[in-house]
Amino acid sequence: MKIIIDAFGGDNAPNAVVDGAYRAAADFNVEIALVGDEAKLNAYIKEKGHANASVSIIHANEVISGEDDPVEAIKKKKDSSMVVGLQALTEDKGDAFVSAGNTGALVTGSTLIVKRIKGIRRAAIALPYPTTKGFALLLDGGANADCSPQFLQQFGIMGSIYVSKLFRIENPRVGLINIGTEDEKGNELSVAANKLLKETELNYVGNIESREIPNGAADVIVCDGFTGNIILKLTEGLAEFLFGNVKKVFVKNMFTKLSALFVKKGFKQFKASLDYTEYGGAPILGLSKPVIKAHGSSDANAFYHAIRQAIAYKNSGIIEEITTSTK
């Protein structure tokens, strides 16, 4: 298996990408193709003393930045590491593609170059969300700010397949984010989507309020990308706020410092459960080939796990099952 990686996507590229890629190539016994400026990549590889015959380079001159307009960037920066990598995936030069670059550009490029599964109206970013019961899958995480009821219905179907295959949850519960649990609650989109989801063969549990997500109210959480992205960023900010303030309490005086010793292990375990670097990346479900979106701030450990996620996604048969479900 070969994983293609956008070596210049993300805040810590290319160094973190290269370090994570070499570690993954050794541990997972896979081939890796780094896409980007060959001279710069070789210089860093030599500096770090990396050596692995299964890691190769596909040259690309340009980089799509976070400030670039997604559509314009895909159209005009044909020699960017992201576009060249996606094109290599379509040409079967690899089995999956990983990028921590511009989210909008990655979704646009994947849709235009890799293309969606026939019958799927929109691809969706599917993100693992920590809950008291383990994880739930939230989609859409930001690919589609505006959605139709049919999009949300398909998100539920794709998410259910993903969770049953990779989370090993039989007959996963699917819930729709809303401002109340009653059928008549919400805007026109929510009411219509709720009705469509009820018509499927999914284990649909109905509307759920956002406060119930951490309590494990559903295994698959469906919403439009605008709502999903707000939920995720609020969660990230709240986690930073809480951990920061808890730390201040523990270092306040010698008595709190002493008590911190007794809870240190449990505190670290809880913090790790919220650490995005351990999750890997987020698959863009609905595409004809595996594309993984890594966090923009990914370090080497996050890229390592994103590659692990790409391997698991490719081997899962999820794309094939989604394809069958749309026929």
9 closest CA partner among 32, 39, 38, 35: 35
For the chain, list the domains and their CATH numbers: 2-120+286-325 (3.40.718.10), 127-235 (3.40.50.10750)
pLDDT at 247: 75
Region of poorest pLDDT, from 19-23, 184-188, 245-249: 245-249
Q: With 60 as the cut, is the pLDDT of residue 273 above it?
A: no
pLDDT at 119: 94
Q: What is the mean pLDDT of residues 261-266?
A: 64
pLDDT at 235: 85
Q: Give the integer Cα–Cα distance in Å for 56 and 34.
A: 6
57 closest CA partner among 14, 108, 112, 1: 14
Bond preceding residue 11 cis, omega within 30 of 0: no
Q: Give the integer Cα–Cα distance in Å for 184 and 21.
A: 49
Q: Which is more confidently placed, 51 or 175?
A: 175
Q: What is the mean pLDDT of residues 60-71?
A: 93
Task: Give the tens place of pLDDT for each residue, 30-40.
Answer: 999 999 999 99
Residue pair 16/299 in contact (Cβ under 8 Å)? The answer is yes
Q: With 90 as the cut, is the pLDDT of residue 81 above it?
A: yes
Q: Give the integer Cα–Cα distance in Å for 208 and 174.
A: 10
Q: With 90 as the cut, is the pLDDT of residue 239 above it?
A: no
pLDDT at 115: 96
pLDDT at 263: 63
pLDDT class of 268 with cuts at 50, 70, 90: low
pLDDT class of 132 with cuts at 50, 70, 90: confident
pLDDT class of 233 with cuts at 50, 70, 90: confident
Phi, psi (5° rounding) for residue 106?
-65, -45
Q: With 70 as the cut, is the pLDDT of residue 96 above it?
A: yes
Q: Give the integer Cα–Cα distance in Å for 281 and 283.
A: 6
Q: Which is more confidently placed, 325 or 125?
A: 125
